[in-house]
Amino acid sequence: MSLSLLILIVLALGVAGYALARARVTAQANGDRRRLHSLIGYYGHTVFLFATVPALLLLGAWLLLQPVVIDGRVSSMLQPGDIPEGGSLSLVMSDVRRIANGLDTLVAQGQLTEAALTTLRTETADVRGQLGSVGIALGSDVQTNVLEAAKAYRGQQGTAQAVMAAVVLLASVLGLALSYKRLSPDFRARNVFESFVKALLIASSMVAVLTTFGILFSMLFESIHFFQLYPAKEFFFSLTWNPQFRGGSSLGIWPLLWGTLYVSFVALLVAVPIGLMIAIYLSEYASKRLRTFAKPAIEILAGIPTIVYGLFALITVGPFLRDYFAQPLGLGTSSSSVMTAGLVMGIMLIPFVSSLSDDIISAVPQSLRDGSFGLGATQSETIRKVVFPAALPGIVGAVLLAASRAIGETMIVVMGAGAAAKLGLNPFEAMTTITVKIVSQLTGDTEFASPETLVAFALGMMLFFFTLALNVIALIVVRKYREQYE
């Protein structure tokens, strides 16, 4: 039974429950709706919810857990000898899944009957060739145990699907029947319905918490996995980054961290002064006409996707810097460089800094400005010596937020900074960042269970904690600052 059909049936049951509930309470109240505790709709809604929501939740949980359970059971069928030299269980399991899919396709195309499948043996048939004909290319011949595991996997999946459909439908019918039985004119349908809705509201708000846990656990597990394969000491203290296809990689984080910080530093060097001056000029000096035009125009920069900035770095800024600065000055010949990425990222951050500082500067009370003007200070003296120091904590918070953006930014550095992991000072040289390496390690062809791929999770973990710390500090600073003037 396909998933969408199952969902449709559950929904249909819900609708039927709605109609039944209305009919039943109407009959119980002898058609007099005033005798009901709640509006008649609530009786229907309640039955609808009981018939659908638990069933659908069950369905979701089942879909989430089924692969885990089946994987566990099937992988126990494999012997240690089935795992090739240098491979891992998870790789063999992915083969098992692919073979199972291939067998499905073969059966669906009629090339293989169910009966033939049960007697299919690696010794007697060219399983690899047959699978190849339906687009499942395997690196080596299929081993007996692997094929058996694949068959078991296929079988269990089929069974699991059937059981799932049955359980979900049962849950739906049960929900419908139980809630239907409780119906009576005195049944507090509105209260029940509202409690149910409230539970849904709470569940929705827990999604954010779940997401954070998801992020933490997914990175934590794979990072632990990584540190089992690769010494943590090397990762945190090695100064070289040199992943190899065939083992023996050096995966030190320092060159990446250096590149990240260098690019972010250049970006902040561009964004902070310009953004700050834009905020000051637009809030303190600009005419109303300029402000109504320039403010949204600069905010457009914030709405442009980073891929556009990446392309800008790649095709315009990079070649420009190379031809007019790096090469004449003899500083390098690469169009992707720290400078390219930093400059473009700086542009991206300008509206971020300017709108945050704008808020902060306008939070400085007018009375301070008046006090300064009253003493005969010029506007710039007032801004530099009174407004700016008063707003400083908030501006520091804004800069920290911008820094966390810069550190986590991906597309601009992927397209503008380059891929060479280096600990250099020349800003016109290509360097690489944590985010670039996360992308390249996870989109490359290396095996998933190798340290070269798993390192991306450790890098992601570092990135997550780094930006989290910056954000938390920034939020605390800004909040303190706000309280000062409230």
Partner 1 sequence: MTDANAQAPRTSLFAPDARTARRNNSEARFRLFGLISVTIGLAALVMLLSSVLFNGTSSFRQTMLELPVTLDAKVLDKKGNRNPDDLAKVTTIGYGRLISDALDKAITDNGIVVDGLTSKDVKDMISKEAPAQIRGRVLANPDLIGQTVSFQVLANGRIDGYMKGRVTLETAERDSNVSVNQLHLADALHEKGLLDMPFNWLFITAPDASELRPEAAGLGVAILGSAYMMIIVLVLSLPIGVAASIYLEEFAPQNRITDLIEVNISNLAAVPSIVFGILGLAVFINFVGLPQSAPIVGALVLTLMTLPTIIIATRAALKAVPPSIREAALGVGASKMQSIFHHVLPLAMPGILTGAIIGLAQALGETAPLLLIGMVAFVRDYPGAPPEGFFDPAAALPVQVYNWTQRADPAFVERASGAIIVLLIFLVIMNFVAILLRRRFERRW
Partner 2 sequence: MDDLRIVERDVNTHTNKITARGVDVFYGGSHAIKGVDVDILDNTVTAFIGPSGCGKSTFLRCLNRMNDTIDICRVKGEILLDGENIYNPKVDPVQLRAKVGMVFQKPNPFPKSIYDNVAYGPKIHGLTRNKAELDEVVETSLRKAAIWNEVKDRLQAPGTGLSGGQQQRLCIARAIATSPEVLLMDEPCSALDPIATAQVEELIDELRAQFSVVIVTHSMQQAARVSQRTAFFHLGNLVEYGETGQIFTAPKDPRTESYITGRIG
Residues 353-372 that bind partner 1 (CB under 8 A): 354
* Helical pair 40-75 and 144-182, crossing angle rounded to 10 deg: 160
Tell whether the torsion through CA atoms of 331, 348, 312 and 320 is positive or negative.
Answer: negative
Q: By C-beta, is 273 or 371 nearer to partner 2? A: 371
Q: How far apart are CA 437 and CA 432, in angstroms?
A: 7
Residues 328-357 as x/- pattern, contact with partner 1 by CB under 8 A? -------------------x--xx--x---
Q: By C-beta, is 42 or 481 nearer to partner 2? A: 481
Q: Which stretch binds partner 1 (CB under 8 A): 25-33, 45-53, 240-248, 432-440?
A: 432-440
Q: Does 375 bind partner 2 (CB under 8 A)?
A: yes
User: What are the strands, taking DSSP E only, across 141-243?
Assistant: 241-242
Q: Which stretch binds partner 1 (CB under 8 A): 214-222, 324-332, 358-366, 387-395?
A: 214-222
Among 336, 354, 372, 446, binds partner 2 (CB under 8 A): 372
Q: Does 402 bind partner 1 (CB under 8 A)?
A: no
Q: How far is CA 272 from CA 312, 355, 467, in A?
A: 21, 11, 18
Name the 3-class secondary structure at 422: coil
Residues 281-320 as x/- pattern, contact with partner 1 by CB under 8 A? xx--xx---x---x--xx-xx-xxxxxxxxxx-xxx----
Q: How far is CA 462 from CA 257, 409, 466, in A?
A: 10, 14, 6
Q: Does 374 bind partner 1 (CB under 8 A)?
A: no
**Between residue 387 and residue 406, which ones bind partner 2 under the rule CB under 8 A?**
389-390
Is residue 27 a contact partner of residue 185, using CB atoms and an 8 Å limit? no
Q: How far is CA 310 from CA 258, 261, 332, 350, 479, in A?
A: 20, 18, 21, 16, 33
Q: By C-beta, is 23 or 60 nearer to partner 1? A: 60
User: Token digits for 387?
Assistant: 């407004």
Q: Which stretch binds partner 2 (CB under 8 A): 86-94, 348-356, 361-369, 413-421?
A: 361-369
**Between residue 275 and residue 294, which ones bind partner 2 under the rule CB under 8 A?**
288
Nearest distance from residue 481's CB to partner 1, in Å?
Answer: 16
Residues 46-65 as x/- pattern, contact with partner 1 by CB under 8 A? -----------------xx-
Q: How far apart are CA 139 and CA 131, in angstroms?
A: 12
DSSP string, 234-270: HHHH---EE--TTS--EE-SHHHHHHHHHHHHHHHHH
**Between residue 80 and residue 119, which ones bind partner 1 under the rule CB under 8 A?**
97
Is residue 397 a contact partner of residue 477, using CB atoms and an 8 Å limit? yes
Q: By C-beta, is 404 or 450 nearer to partner 1? A: 404
Nearest distance from residue 120's CB to partner 1, in Å?
Answer: 24
Q: 22 exposed, middle or buried (CB, 10 Å; 0-12, 13-18, 19+)? A: middle
Q: Name the one residue in this structure whose structure tokens are 């069928």.
A: 77
Nearest distance from residue 470's CB to partner 1, in Å?
Answer: 9
Binding at 347: pick from partner 1, partner 2, none (beta carbon under 5-8 Å per type): partner 1
Nearest distance from residue 85's CB to partner 1, in Å?
Answer: 24
φ/ψ (deg, to 5) at 376: 90, 25
Residues 226-265 as x/- pattern, contact with partner 1 by CB under 8 A? ----------------------------------------
End-to-end CA distance of the chain: 61
SS3 of 325-350: the string is: HHCCCCCCCCCCCHHHHHHHHHHHHH
Binding at 17: pick from partner 2, partner 1, none (beta carbon under 5-8 Å per type): none
Among 368, 396, 420, 423, binds partner 2 (CB under 8 A): 368
Q: By C-beta, is 13 or 415 nearer to partner 1? A: 415
Binding at 467: pick from partner 1, partner 2, none (beta carbon under 5-8 Å per type): partner 1
Residues that bind partner 2 (CB under 8 A): 288, 365, 367-378, 381, 385-386, 389-390, 484
